[in-house]
């Protein structure tokens, strides 16, 4: 499962950088690259959101590894 953790973390970091660009420069990189709410842009947003939800499981796995 380590590969899915790495992919998820990478996508969440991309999402965080996109939000940074939106907050600081009002520039949506995903919309710029794939079109404003195009099917591909929506897929990217969905994948980033799902990866964020998946990474919530890290809290449980981190606490289990400390025990």
Reading the chain (67 residues) residue by residue, the pLDDT tens digits are: 689 999 999 999 999 999 999 999 999 999 999 999 999 999 999 999 999 999 998 888 877 777 6
Helix or strand run (H / E) with residue 64: helix 57-66
What's residue 61's pLDDT? Answer: 81
What's residue 67's pLDDT? Answer: 64
Whole-model pTM: value is 0.83
What's residue 59's pLDDT? Answer: 83
Q: DSSP secondary-structure letter at 19? A: H
Domain count, the chain: 1
């Amino acid at each position: 499962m380590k590969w899915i953790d790495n992919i998820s973390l990478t996508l969440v970091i991309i999402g965080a950088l996109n939000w940074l660009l939106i907050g600081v420069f009002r520039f949506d990189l995903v919309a710029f690259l794939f079109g404003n709410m195009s099917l591909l842009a929506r897929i990217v947003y969905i994948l980033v959101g799902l990866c964020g939800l998946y990474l919530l499981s890290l809290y449980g796995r981190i606490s289990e590894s400390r025990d």
